[in-house]
Amino acid sequence: MMSPRTVSALQSWSSVARWTLFGPLACVIVALTYNAVSFSDLGPEALQRAMASAIILPLLMAIPLFFFLSMRIRSLAITNRRLGLVARTDSLTSCLNRGAFTARVETQLTTDEGPRTGALLIIDADNFKTINDLYGHDAGDEALTILARSIRSVLSAGDLIGRMGGEEFGVFLPGVDQNAAEQMAERVRRAVQLAQFSPRGDAYMLSVSIGGAVFAQSTNFTELFRIADQRLYGAKRSGRNQAAIVHTLDQPQVDIRKSA
């Protein structure tokens, strides 16, 4: 199956071909109609020459003109698409940024075609400040890219990943139940722990804490985030490097004061 980017490119070139072909053809038809009416009383020979010019001149002029204009339109469309991608994407990790991630999840939750079940995971790097303090912010940025790549490596088609800010990521899993959400959270945790990270040549094991909210009824992003965030703090307080997943219908209260 072709990627969306490939399909989009093919559609764009198809549009260029259509404009280059049908634009001049329309000009020829207009010119033929006009000349047939205007020169019909000048005799067969003059009419024949007029009809020939109605074909040749529009083709000579319109083909390069329509090709140039369609290429300019295609270039503008590609630029707009790239700008839209930049506006939605976190430049460091290539994940959706917080606004785009929130909007995409909210759209899925509120549309009739959206998933009836699913889960939101909030993933936070453990002791991230230590990396910045020991090795500098460049190493911290490298760690974030590794985290994003590790998380993305275990996701399925249709899952969404976004950077919520700092060292925190969000993952939306449409169509999963609590068991599948717990399995995915564990795969994420293990993928991060197995990732290779060696700032200044020193082996450093990354780990994450994960909070998750599973739903099987109408809900919204704000409610899912609130519950998942509470579970995240619970995982942090319980020792880090673990996941805590709860169903929205059965979630105990948690002291959400952030652990030191």
Residue 216, amino acid? A
Measured at the CA of 122, the angle between CA 119 and CA 124, to 5 degrees, comes to 155
167 is catalytic: yes
Give the number of other CB atoms < 10 A from CB of residue 136: 13
Pairing label, strands 208-215, 243-247: parallel
Q: How far apart are CA 37 and CA 31, in angstroms?
A: 10
Q: What distance in Å separates the CA atoms of residue 257 and residue 260, rounded to the nearest whole number? A: 9
CA-based nearest residue to 200, from 126, 128, 124, 131: 131
Which of 45, 142, 167, 168 is the catalytic position? 167
Q: Mind telling me the catalytic residues? A: 167
